[in-house]
């Protein structure tokens, strides 16, 4: 029997998802915009997200083959780009069977490719390191790799790179990366891919054959320096819970583990049914906002495993059962992230499996 007494849940708005895709893809109309749904679609549920976008996108991208196989087993048939490429030589056989596009970025992967018999002719991506210094071949090494590919492999080859600072509009690193990439790209007739979410929005010169749309797809700003986005995005996830208890405190009384919050006046504290076991960060400080009864209210004291406490002294008529939004439609996840000294990516992806997802189309 399925029964839920606790009302903590993540509302996933699939209409917002599709609208966000259309708006961001519209900024680069000459590109094919791949939807990145790694890490369980940034915490939104990869299978449902893929089903919702299936008719809109040319392909999906995931981190590794395990994620792609979950989607294939769920009936998702579009091509899938494997961003970390093959992590074992057996991955090439799976890629052939399931229409996976492998992104190659190191010499061992090239060695595995050369061991494939008969010749491996599936679509390949080759990653060029233009300054991220994480994955990829140097431009010089990439030229040697390309030279050793077969004509058939070169025909479908996509050259790609990844930005380190595309979210910072005034940072000179991104133009330098674009220039570095174009030096090698201009030598070949391959298809190209550079732009992530921030690249699509901030750097039109990075728009190429394929763009890779990640965080902005889910309705949150990928940039730390752009406050007024060129398109209005709608948050896809609204994380919410309810008030399960109310306490009246006298001056100097404390709340929670370690007594880190002390009442400076007669106060009302609401206990909310969500905690770090649900993915809400334990290190969220007092003062981090939540949204309740159309107002912002600050967290008071430490986040517990299953609960957190909120100072609702200045909010009238709070009662047990009232909805509390941790982030979403009324409280941007990036605002919460700033208070917690983290990023929107981390908050979305760390929502735990015990928080049910409810999918809506509104």
Contacts of residue 218, defined as CB under 8 A and 6 or more positions apart, other chains included, come to 17, 20, 41, 42, 44, 235, 236, 237, 348
Catalytic residue among 155, 187, 232, 257: 257
Q: How far apart are CA 23 and CA 20, in angstroms?
A: 5
Quick check: is 188 catalytic?
Answer: no
Pairing of strands 158-160, 191-193: parallel
β-bridge partners, 310: 270, 299
Q: How far apart are CA 38 and CA 105, in angstroms?
A: 18
**Token code pair at residue 246:** 């109310």
Backbone dihedral region of 346: left (phi > 0), alpha (psi from -120 to 50 degrees) or beta? alpha
Catalytic residue among 21, 23, 38, 345: 38
Question: Are 232 and 23 in contact, with CB atoms under 8 Å apart?
Answer: yes
Q: Could you tell me where the DSSP H helices lie in 34-79?
A: 38-43, 46-53, 65-73
Quick check: is 257 catalytic?
Answer: yes
Q: How far apart are CA 89 and CA 203, in angstroms?
A: 36
Q: Which residue numbers are catalytic?
A: 38, 257
């Amino acid at each position: 029997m399925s029964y839920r007494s606790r009302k903590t849940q993540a509302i996933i708005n699939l209409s917002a998802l599709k609208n966000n895709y259309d708006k961001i893809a519209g900024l680069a109309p000459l590109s094919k915009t791949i939807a990145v749904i790694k890490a369980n679609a940034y915490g939104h549920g990869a299978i449902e997200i893929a089903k919702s976008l299936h008719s809109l996108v040319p392909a999906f991208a995931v981190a590794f083959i395990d994620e792609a196989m979950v989607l294939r087993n769920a009936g998702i048939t579009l091509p899938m780009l494997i961003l970390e490429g093959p992590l074992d030589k057996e991955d090439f056989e799976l890629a052939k069977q399931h229409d996976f596009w492998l992104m190659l970025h190191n010499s061992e992967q090239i060695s595995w490719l050369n061991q494939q018999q008969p010749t491996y002719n599936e679509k390949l991506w080759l990653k060029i390191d233009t300054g991220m210094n994480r994955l990829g071949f140097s431009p010089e090494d990439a030229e040697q790799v390309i030279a050793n590919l077969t004509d058939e492999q070169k025909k479908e080859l996509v050259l790609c790179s990844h930005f380190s600072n595309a979210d910072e509009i005034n940072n000179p690193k991104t133009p330098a990366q674009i220039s570095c990439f174009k030096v090698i790209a201009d030598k070949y007739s391959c298809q190209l891919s550079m732009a992530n979410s921030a690249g699509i929005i901030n750097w039109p010169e990075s728009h190429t054959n394929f763009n890779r749309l990640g965080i902005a797809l889910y309705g949150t700003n990928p940039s730390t320096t752009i406050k007024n986005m060129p398109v209005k995005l709608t948050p896809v996830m609204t994380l919410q819970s309810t008030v399960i208890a109310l306490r009246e405190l006298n001056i100097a009384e404390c709340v929670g583990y370690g007594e880190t919050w002390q009442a400076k006046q007669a106060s009302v504290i609401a206990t909310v049914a969500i905690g770090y076991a649900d993915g809400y960060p334990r290190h969220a400080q007092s003062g981090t906002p939540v949204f309740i009864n159309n107002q912002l209210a600050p967290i008071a004291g430490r986040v517990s495993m299953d609960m957190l406490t909120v100072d609702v002294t200045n909010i009238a008529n709070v009662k047990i059962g009232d909805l509390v939004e941790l982030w979403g439609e009324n409280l941007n996840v990036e605002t919460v992230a700033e208070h917690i000294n983290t990023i929107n990516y981390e908050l979305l992806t760390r929502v735990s499996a015990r928080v049910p997802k409810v999918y809506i189309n509104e």
